Amino acid sequence: MAWQHYRLVFRLLSPLHIGYRRTGNLMETRRYVPGKNLWAALTARLVRNAGHGADGGAYREVGRAVHKHFRLGYLWPSLDRENPYFPWKNDDFDYLFLGSAASTALEHSRRAAQDGTLHDVEFIAPTTRTGDEVYLLGDLWVQDPLPSVVAGWQDALRAFALGGEQGYGWGRVRLEQDPQPPMGNNSIGGFAWHVDGQEIVLTAPADSRITAHAVAAGEQAVTNVEGVVEPLVGWERQESGGYRLTQNVVVAYAPGATVGEETTVSIGCYGIYKDDVIPGDDPFGPAGHPRVIL
């Protein structure tokens, strides 16, 4: 089975909130779209396009197939559809891209705002403060042949939404062009890549910045990396129903961390980098059984 690389270009059509953390009354957004969000959006759209939107088993089946046959890159804001506008390279990132909207819960019996619920939701805006359109750039690897449940992935990319607050119309994106294999050599953002068995392996040059999370602890930890470390934890949907917090928390370097010397990594579940040398199951759950994290 062969892997094919595709470059993704989306136009952001409405505010985008990717849940990060809460500071005071501000619900912060991440400055990028993790692979987990892309996995969730692609899975949901494939299921709904097939007419099985009310079937929980269909989501599990399709989600596992996406995990097995796709490798996901993170999506990053861009102004020119060609180059990501990384926060660590541009001091004006927050000024250009970020905004917030106030919200509160209502107490209908009093016809007033519920006490203590006023908050602001931060978002990446669809246009910058200077009026430029905002795009999202990323990479996708697809392994052929595909099972029928995910064969319509290109159609699914044309009609999905990302992130939170979708009930208010947030997170709408438009695929700017049909996914096409990039011209030229096997390189993305200065990282060379190749296929090694079933793995997509990236080579990060010395002093480069990683553009996805990288495992920071455990057997599959990526070495020679310095930067912010954070736990990847959140609510998980259980097959038996209901939600619970992540049981096997993974500690990872955040995007923007620096690679000290040339390092090879493989792309794991949800696009998170892991040690290329250590074989075995993905650290984010049993093989073939992706888990909803973050």
* Domain-ending residue, one of 183, 215, 231: 183
Q: Are residues 71 and 195 in the same domain?
A: no
248 close to 233: Cβ distance less than 8 angstroms: no
Q: Are residues 135 and 192 in the same domain?
A: no
Residue 64, domain CATH: 3.30.70
User: In whole angstroms, what is the distance from residue 164 CA to residue 103 CA?
Assistant: 14
User: In whole angstroms, what is the distance from residue 50 CA to residue 150 CA?
Assistant: 10
Q: What does 246-260 look like in DSSP terms, one character per residue?
A: -SS-EEEEPTTPEES
Q: Are residues 1 and 85 in the same domain?
A: yes
Domain that holds residue 52: 1-183
Q: Are residues 77 and 113 in the same domain?
A: yes
Q: Are residues 170 and 202 in the same domain?
A: no
283 close to 228: Cβ distance less than 8 angstroms: no
Q: Report the pLDDT value the prediction gives residue 282, as an integer from 0 to 100.
A: 52
- CA-nearest of 167, 160, 165 to 75 is 160
Q: Are residues 167 and 202 in the same domain?
A: no
134 close to 81: Cβ distance less than 8 angstroms: no
Q: Are residues 159 and 193 in the same domain?
A: no
Q: Which amino acid would we find at residue 88?
A: W
Q: Are residues 73 and 176 in the same domain?
A: yes
Ramachandran assignment for 260, one of left (phi > 0), alpha (psi -120 to 50 degrees), beta (any other): alpha
What are φ and ψ of residue 33, in 5° steps? -110, 110
Q: Are residues 178 and 198 in the same domain?
A: no
- How many folded domains does the chain comprise? 2
Q: Report the pLDDT value the prediction gives residue 103, as an integer from 0 to 100.
A: 76
Q: Are residues 193 and 178 in the same domain?
A: no
Beta strands in 87-175 (DSSP E): 98-103, 106-107, 112-113, 119-124, 135-144, 173-175
Owner of token pair 């890159």: 73
Dihedral of CA 216/217/221/226: which sign? positive
Q: Report the pLDDT value the prediction gives residue 292, as an integer from 0 to 100.
A: 37
Q: Are residues 266 and 131 in the same domain?
A: no
User: C-alpha 209: how far from its chain's center?
Assistant: 17
Low-confidence ranges of the chain (pLDDT < 70): 1, 104-108, 110-119, 183-185, 237, 239-241, 277-294
Q: What does 55-97 look like in DSSP terms, one character per residue?
A: -HHHHHHHHHHHHHHEEEPPBEEESSSSSB--TTT-TTHHHHH
> Does the predicted model carry a pTM greater than 0.85?
yes
* Domain-ending residue, one of 164, 183, 202: 183
Determine how many CB atoms are found less than 10 A away from the CB of residue 4. 11
Q: Is the peptide bond before 34 cis (omega within 30 degrees of 0)?
A: no
Q: Are residues 244 and 173 in the same domain?
A: no
User: In whole angstroms, what is the distance from residue 3 CA to residue 200 CA?
Assistant: 8
CA distances from 278 to 232, 269, 275 (A): 20, 15, 6
* Domain-ending residue, one of 128, 163, 183: 183
Element (H, E) at 154: helix 153-157
